[in-house]
């Protein structure tokens, strides 16, 4: 338990750096491409992976870029699949209006003898 308490701030800091870089690159790609789509997140994941691994050399940076892009592609793909599956439940349905010629006759005031 003591090791977890010691390591927690380091992991939190690493996650904060990753999140900050990812968000920065995501916003930059949105501005550059003038589009907000899954490709921005995939590209941001790849760029973030490359930047974070840059100190370990070009080969490590390339590997981290590929891994980051693949991970974000899977995340985006799963998100799209879930949205499509859930959206199917909420698709508007055209109300069925009965054909007046098929309705049974109704009594009007004149037929009742008023």
Q: Is the dihedral of CA 64, 67, 73, 78 positive or negative?
A: negative
Residue 48, pLDDT score? 96
Helices 2-33, 38-52: inter-axial angle, 10-degree rounding: 130
pTM, two decimal places: 0.70
pLDDT at 112 over 80: no
Percentage of residues in the chain having pLDDT higher than 90? 63
pLDDT at 109 over 70: no
Tell me the per-residue pLDDT of 36-56, one tens digit each, with 9 for 90 and over.
999 999 999 999 999 999 999
């Amino acid at each position: 338990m003591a090791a977890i308490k010691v390591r927690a701030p380091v992991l939190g800091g690493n996650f904060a750096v990753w999140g900050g870089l990812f968000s920065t690159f995501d916003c930059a790609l949105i501005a550059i491409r003038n589009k907000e789509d899954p490709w921005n997140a995939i590209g941001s994941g790849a760029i973030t992976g490359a930047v974070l691994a840059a100190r370990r050399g070009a080969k490590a940076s390339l590997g981290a870029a590929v891994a980051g892009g693949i991970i974000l592609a899977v995340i985006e793909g799963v998100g799209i699949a879930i949205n499509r599956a859930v959206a199917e439940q909420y698709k508007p349905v055209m109300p069925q209006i009965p054909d007046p010629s098929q309705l049974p006759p109704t009594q009007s005031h004149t037929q009742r003898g008023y």
